[in-house]
Homo-oligomer: A and B are copies of this chain.
Amino acid sequence: MTGSLVVLGIGPGPARWITPEASSALAAATDVIGYRAYLERLTVSCEQTLHGSDNGDELQRARAALELAHAGARVAVVSGGDPGVFAMAAAVFEAIEHGPAAWRALHVQVLPGITAMLAAAARLGAPLGNDFCAINLSDNLKPWPLIERRLELAAQAGFVIALYNPASRARPEQVHAAFARLRQHRAASAPVAFAKAVGRPDEELVLTSLGEADPRQADMRTLIVVGTEATRRIDRPAGLPWLYTPRRVDEAS
């Protein structure tokens, strides 16, 4: 008997950002696996088994999910945001590659979701309106010098930059170092936004500039958007200014 495994994203916040496809897959699962804080957001039936975990050891969680599927369960692995962006999908395929051959015969599907960067951008205006990149600032799985190199090259390329996982108590100084590196290649006037808990009741948006950005604004639930020199601020009578990055670039930077 062989089950199935679906890796799905529930978006960064509210149920209104969960796709119908992900909702259907969740409802059809016998077993739902994920970080406990994500599972708490979901409506599940009493016939489903929830496997809540801490926010660590994604590879172990992936293996547990694959074992359940191999044993015949219909398993849903739940990520926040999109499962393919700094979330569970890569861990599942890593587990498959290094796991028993039988796992390669399982029916595995990844279902896309709204990643934090898209939700934050929508709340801010259209800051990702030109070419952009997404960088995970966590150095749990890659060396910090590589992150700094990527920041530099991204700034040189003129990418709008979305920074995921900007801080934790364990590494408060890294956002500071990241901004310092960006300032070497991008004007202090470039707009920066801190988007915390987007779509949640405690959502908080802070607009500032690269020169004045305070790294202490960031926590683990914050997505940072670093605009380019071309990114515009539109003041309006009420509410935060809108940010957008024009589609047009008139000359090579």
Could you tell me if B154 and A237 are in contact, using CB atoms closer than 8 angstroms? no
This chain: copies in complex = 2
Given contacts A113-B118, A141-B247, A236-B105, contact A134 B135 (CB under 8 A): no
Could you tell me if A96 and B20 are in contact, using CB atoms closer than 8 angstroms? no
Residue in B89, B133, B145, B234 whose CB lies within 8 Å of A93: B234
Could you tell me if A251 and B131 are in contact, using CB atoms closer than 8 angstroms? no
Say how far A149's CB is from chain B's closest CB, in angstroms: 7
Dominant secondary structure of chain A at its interface with chain B:
mixed
Q: Which residues does chain B contribute within 8 Å of A157, judged by CB atoms?
A: 133, 149-150, 153-154, 157
Given contacts A112-B121, A115-B118, A131-B133, contact A141 B248 (CB under 8 A): yes
- The yes or no answer to A249 lying at the interface (CB within 8 A) is yes
Could you tell me if A128 and B84 are in contact, using CB atoms closer than 8 angstroms? yes
- Give residues of chain A (102-136) contacting chain B, Cβ–Cβ below 8 Å: 104-105, 108, 110-115, 118-119, 121-123, 125-136
- The yes or no answer to A245 lying at the interface (CB within 8 A) is yes
- The yes or no answer to A1 lying at the interface (CB within 8 A) is no
Could you tell me if B19 and A16 are in contact, using CB atoms closer than 8 angstroms? yes
- The yes or no answer to A35 lying at the interface (CB within 8 A) is no
Residue in B119, B156, B234 whose CB lies within 8 Å of A112: B119
- The yes or no answer to A170 lying at the interface (CB within 8 A) is no
Residue ID in chain B nearest A133 by CB atoms: B133
Q: CA–CA, A106 to B49, complex, Å?
A: 47
- Give residues of chain A (32-77) contacting chain B, Cβ–Cβ below 8 Å: 58
Given contacts A84-B118, A114-B113, A157-B154, contact A253 B146 (CB under 8 A): yes
Could you tell me if A18 and B16 are in contact, using CB atoms closer than 8 angstroms? no
Q: Chain A interface (Cβ within 8 Å of chain B)?
A: 11, 15-21, 24, 58, 82-86, 89-94, 96-97, 104-105, 108, 110-115, 118-119, 121-123, 125-136, 141-143, 145-146, 149-150, 153-154, 156-159, 232, 234-238, 242, 244-253
Known: A90-B129, A110-B123, A112-B114. 13 other contacts (CB 8 A): A15-B20, A16-B20, A84-B121, A89-B125, A89-B126, A89-B129, A93-B125, A93-B232, A112-B119, A112-B122, A141-B247, A142-B248, A149-B157
